[in-house]
Amino acid sequence: MHEGAIAVALIQDILEVREKENLSSLNTATVLIGRLHHVVPEVLQNHFGLLKKEYPPLVKTKLVIEIAPVAITCRKCGCETVIEKPEFSCSSCRSTDIEITGGREMHLKEIEGTKAQ
């Protein structure tokens, strides 16, 4: 279950941003995770929910998870495709000479909070 490790890393990142931006409260934290990471959003939510209780500034923070699709670009014809099925070939020319251009990302996308006075 790598969702637990991801939740720990997210909390560390959120707390760093909170300190850097001088935020007194945090409403939401949005994370973008590529589909190739095989993260189960519900499991990540559960881990985050349990761990945030140990950090008073995060108790009311809601975690929003956005899943980025897998995208490929064909090296042969240049076609860009978002794929839903595990078929790693160009949708236009069927070449398997492709580059994965999306679906591997994982980062804290946005934090919504209130600046300290």
Instruction: Indicate the pLDDT class of residue 86, thresholds 50, 70 and 90.
Output: confident
Domain ranges of the chain: 3-68+103-115
Over the stretch 35-83, which tens digit does the pLDDT of each residue have?
A: 999 999 999 999 999 999 999 999 999 999 999 999 999 999 999 999 9
- Entry pTM: 0.87
CATH architecture, domain defined by 3-68+103-115: 2-Layer Sandwich (3.30)
d(CA 11, CA 6): 9
Residue 32 exposure: Cα atoms within 13 Å on the Cβ side? 11
